[in-house]
Amino acid sequence: MTGSRNNEGGRLFAGGVDWVSVGIYLLLVLMGWLNIYAAVYDEAHASIFDIGQRYGMQGVWIGVSLFMGLVVLLLDDKYYHILAYPLYGLSLLLLAATLVVGREVNGAKSWIFLGPVALQPAEFVKFTTALALARLMSTYSFSIRKTGDILRICVLLLVPMAIILLQNDTGSAIVYTAFAFVLYREGLNGWLYLAMIMVVSLFVFSFLLSPAFLLVLLIVACTLFQALGNGNWRESLVYVSGVALLTLAFYFLGRAAGWGFTLHGVLLAVSLLSLIPVAIYAYRARLRTVYLYLLLFLGSITFTYMTDFAFGKMQPHQQERILDLFGIENDLQGAGYNVNQSKIAIGSGGLTGKGFLNGTQTKYNFVPEQSTDFIFCTVGEEWGFAGALVVLALFCILILRIMKMGERQMEPFGRIYCYSVAAVFLFHVFVNVGMTIGVMPVIGIPLPFFSYGGSSLISFTLLFFVAVRLDAGKRRELPVD
């Protein structure tokens, strides 16, 4: 027994482990540590091992993480399959408990204090959810095309999301949308994604364009695509010009009569009324796709008005963040302050950066949350574009390698799990880095391996090493076959 385990262990470390990925992981963790050191550097406490400082603590967390990573590698891979549901349940309990006994930090009640150690259960739930999702979807009878199974997935993802939302930690909740990535790999209907992309673009456009212009765009786009499919160019042209003429006619008549018509209002009324003749036309010409575009048009219009409604329901700081992202409002002293300072820090880094510990913007606290959510500012400022590119490249390679690990798996469990890890990493990197350079709204989620914090570092480490362990397991079995 002992002998065989040693034997297994020996082979495990000899070939199965993807050492390149582990190397990238170690590199990223080390870089993260150095950047936290630089971000909160204090001459009075210059030792990176001073645990009175954040960098000292991060050193401790790195030690703990590496130990846990080692434990993960040494455990048999079947445990992850077995423990998936129990861990998921346990973590949800912990999450729910946070609602009761947790403490509020920065407006989110997501922390549990165990003596001197602060724990953020939401971080670990990502890991357990990934395991549970893999377990669920790798069940023998599971099919992604069955509505019941899709509902199960929804429940599995929505429960932690809901609890986290109750904690008022919107950022961490949104992370769960990343699992859509996995579902696509596993064959979820592609139209859903297309629809999602359309919804998102509509959302963005509804902020960037005036309502009247957006409406014109929708009418033209729907008619155009319809005509592309059906070839009824003449009728389409007649329709568009008819709508235009009627709109203008009513508009000017209304104005002349002094009824205070707006162009947008008239156009909306005319286009909605025009759907009746369009429907009649489609029935007579037996063009079924016309109905599809009709519905699409109606749906889009409804959605844009819902967007306005939803936006009105948001909290002011969320509204400001969105307006700021789209450059509609630019209050650099208020809502836009963080992002502006973050952009200044990164932008001032230039091509090669200011050098280690020479970053002025981060060192002198112009950037908020510089060791946690905005840690990438230190990277950008001190290591410049070159350094930032290296970090991004490492993340990109790591994520692609994890996806490859997934593809190498013999069992769907491993594949789904690996894709989940890749999805969570991708989402975190994109949203976190994107927010520091103003391409994403400010959503407070950590940058994997970089942001200060034990919970997130340990949870990302667990996510990663279980993938490596599963991958190593597959290889271990190959020669036996």
Partner 1 sequence: MGRIRILQIVVVAVFAVLASRLFYIQVLDSRYKREARNNVLRHEVQYPPRGEVYDRNGEFLVRSRESYDLMVVPRDMKPFDTLLMSRVLGVTPEKIKRNIARATAYSRRRPSVVLPMLSKEEKSRLDECDFPGFYTVFRTVRSYPRKIGGNLLGSVGEVSPRVIERDSYYKSGDYIGESGVELAYEEALRGVKGVKVNVVDVHGITKGSYNDGEFDTVPVPGAAIVSTIDAELQAFGEELLAGKVGSIVAIEPSTGEILVMVSSPTYDPDELVGRERGNHYMELLGNPRRPMFNRAVMAKYPPGSTFKLVNGLIGMQEGVVRPETTYPCHNGYTVGRGVKCHSHASPLNLIDAVKTSCNAYFCYVFRNIIDNPKYGSVKRGFDVWNEYVRSFGFGRKLDSDFIGELNGNVPTSEFYDKRYNGRWNSLTTVSLSIGQGELGCTPLQMANLAAIVANRGYYYIPHVVRSVEGRDSLDMRFYRKHYTKVDTKYFEPVVEGMWRAVHRDGTARVAYVEGLDICGKTGTAQNPHGRDHSTFLSFAPRNNPRIAVSVYVEHGIWGATVAAPVASLIIEKYLTGEVSRPELVEQVKQLNLNYSYYDRQQK
Q: Which residues bind partner 1 (CB under 8 A)?
A: 181, 184-185, 187, 341, 343-351, 360-361, 363-366, 380, 384-385, 388-389, 392-393, 395-396, 399-400, 403, 407, 419, 422, 426, 429-430, 433-434, 437-439
Nearest distance, CB of residue 455 and partner 1, angstroms: 25
Task: Tell which phi-psi region holds residue 35, choosing left (phi > 0), alpha (psi between -120 and 50) or beta.
Answer: alpha
The string of DSSP codes covering 373-405 is: TTHHHHHHHHHHHHHHHHHHHHHHHHHHHHHHH
Report the amino acid identity of residue 207.
Answer: F
DSSP-derived 3-state class of residue 2: helix
Instruction: Return the number of the residue (307 or 348) whose C-beta is nearest partner 1.
Output: 348
Distance of CA 83 to the CA centre of its chain: 26
Nearest distance, CB of residue 26 and partner 1, angstroms: 21
Would you say 371 and 391 are in contact if contact means Cβ atoms under 8 Å apart? Answer: no
State the Cα–Cα distance between residues 122 and 456, nearest whole angstrom: 9
Instruction: Return the number of the residue (81 or 401) whose C-beta is nearest partner 1.
Output: 401
Instruction: Return the number of the residue (270 or 445) whose C-beta is nearest partner 1.
Output: 445
Nearest distance, CB of residue 34 and partner 1, angstroms: 19
Q: In 3D, which of 427, 454, 432, 428 has the Cα closest to residue 346?
A: 432
Instruction: Return the number of the residue (36 or 182) whose C-beta is nearest partner 1.
Output: 182
Nearest distance, CB of residue 439 and partner 1, angstroms: 5
State the Cα–Cα distance between residues 438 and 232, nearest whole angstrom: 44
Query: If you count them, how many residues does the chain have?
Result: 481
State the Cα–Cα distance between residues 115 and 133, nearest whole angstrom: 32
Would you say 65 and 72 are in contact if contact means Cβ atoms under 8 Å apart? Answer: no
Instruction: Return the number of the residue (195 or 396) whose C-beta is nearest partner 1.
Output: 396
Instruction: Return the number of the residue (90 or 439) whose C-beta is nearest partner 1.
Output: 439
Q: In 3D, which of 261, 167, 192, 207 has the Cα closest to residue 441?
A: 207
Nearest distance, CB of residue 344 and partner 1, angstroms: 5
Instruction: Return the number of the residue (304 or 370) whose C-beta is nearest partner 1.
Output: 370
Nearest distance, CB of residue 388 and partner 1, angstroms: 5
Instruction: Return the number of the residue (315 or 360) whose C-beta is nearest partner 1.
Output: 360
Nearest distance, CB of residue 438 and partner 1, angstroms: 8
Nearest distance, CB of residue 419 and partner 1, angstroms: 8
State the Cα–Cα distance between residues 338 and 342, nearest whole angstrom: 6
Distance of CA 62 to the CA centre of its chain: 24
Instruction: Return the number of the residue (56 or 438) whose C-beta is nearest partner 1.
Output: 438
Would you say 225 and 233 are in contact if contact means Cβ atoms under 8 Å apart? Answer: no
Nearest distance, CB of residue 321 and partner 1, angstroms: 18
Nearest distance, CB of residue 242 and partner 1, angstroms: 40
Would you say 331 and 320 are in contact if contact means Cβ atoms under 8 Å apart? Answer: yes
- Lookup: tokens for 64: 């703990």
- Lookup: tokens for 314: 């948001």
Q: In 3D, which of 252, 240, 249, 251 has the Cα closest to residue 215?
A: 240
Instruction: Return the number of the residue (235 or 324) whose C-beta is nearest partner 1.
Output: 324
